[in-house]
Amino acid sequence: MKASTRFHARHPVVTAVAGTAALTWLFQKLRARLFPALLPEPTGPYGVGRAAFDWVDARRQEPYARRGNRPRELSAWLWYPAEPRRGARPGPYLPAGWRLTSLFWRFQASRVRAHAVPGAPVARPPQRHPVLVFSPAGFPPLYYSSLFEELASHGYIVAAVSHTYEALPLSAFADGRLRLFRPASVGGALKVSRASHDEDVRARAEVVRVKAEDLRSLVDELERLEAGSGLLAGRMDLGRLGAFGHSMGGNAAVELCARDERCLAVANMDGGVWSAVAQEGLPRPLLELFAEHPEYVRPCAESVGQKAFTSVEYCEANREFAVDGWQRLYARARPGYSVQIRGAGHASFTDCGLLPLQRGSFASPALGTIEGHRMWRVLSDYLRAFFDRHLRDAPAPLLDGASPFYPEAVLAPPQALFPR
């Protein structure tokens, strides 16, 4: 008689597998409860609240949707100075649909503990706080929560846009809708390029244009919220508006500041400058923050051997383009600051150095060697010093020269940081 390969619910193999799965699930739940990954405690005098909203920019067409003639739909997250009610609990690090992104980045989101309380009352006494708009690149905006919580605890309102179709592997709206990642939204930046350097410059400049327009749309929406009757109405001082961003989001923030007079100061966190502002310059306060980038220091033949570039010619063109662009921005800013954080990698500007990443995470090779909490401290303090000086007219001696308390921070022009 032919042996059957069908298993029923009480078959010993099925029972063993089900039992193992149940034990694994229980272990993960216990580990998340007993050994959470805590984001750094914000150090400012305020508690922190968090909110999200969606909107439609009817003036623009969606550049990445498969079907045309659709308006650009966007979402944003806000962190703000708050006075949470007694007993109020922080929200999850990754709410709703955003939790799915942790599967791609390989960490258990339930283990991560943030500090912001959803919908908490705005801090008293009533006053208007300076506003910072932020552009990420590839990472979901919530993956910068530790930085935003720290800034909000010191009296800033931070509004981070979610560039629809850009976050890996998906974007989530506040109302629960999801949009899967589209490669065109990052201009081929996630892999070693086989196009010509000129083609890459054009593709990435177009991505930056879209992102800068998203930031402009966000500022417009914040003006409507400020004039309305909602949670933050009357509490946002958009006359003291700054911008910052990471990677191509840093370029987008600089582009916004160059095209929109509402932006008074801008910080670029380790972003190449692909758009025209690299040639034109920006006569406003500018802070450039860099990782180490050995591919811009070692011989190009070594970089090609390390598979950072496909050819020596591409490497040389990219190095000259990047460093010269950073140098022109620094030299023409009024004033310009340039800081390299030793040991930092490109992903160190996110929360990834603080997250319980599993082996094989896409972010791990880009984290560098600096410890996550230390990176958070150095990055937070230099950003806050910059915006305090130029949006609050407050002293910021940290920007004036080397500090013995921050030996990782090297203040020097880009051409000195990346000599050719």
DSSP assignment letter at 56: E
Answer for the pair 82, 48: CB distance below 8 angstroms, yes or no: yes
CB atoms within 10 A of CB 418: 21
Mean pLDDT of the chain: 93
Q: How many residues does the chain have?
A: 420
The pair of three-digit structure tokens given for residue 89, joined into one six-digit string: 């609990």
Give buried/exposed letters for 140-171 (b at 16+ CB in 10 A, else e). bbbbbbbbbbbbbbbbbbbbbbbbbbbbbebb
| Average pLDDT rounded to a whole number, residues 271-279 | 96
pLDDT tops 60 at residue 12? no
Cis peptide before 335 (omega within 30 of 0): yes
| Average pLDDT rounded to a whole number, residues 193-199 | 92
Tens digits of per-residue pLDDT, 83-133?
Answer: 999 999 999 999 989 999 999 999 999 999 999 999 999 999 999 999 999
Tens digits of per-residue pLDDT, 322-332?
Answer: 999 999 999 99
Distances from the Cα of 165 to the Cα of 56, 139, 290, 317, angstroms? 15, 11, 26, 29
Nearest in space to 157 (alpha carbons), one of 97, 226, 245: 226
Residue 243, pLDDT score: 98
Residue 384, pLDDT score: 98
pLDDT tops 70 at residue 1? no
Question: What is the residue whose two structure tokens read 């921070």?
Answer: 409
Domains of the chain: 39-417 (3.40.50.1820)
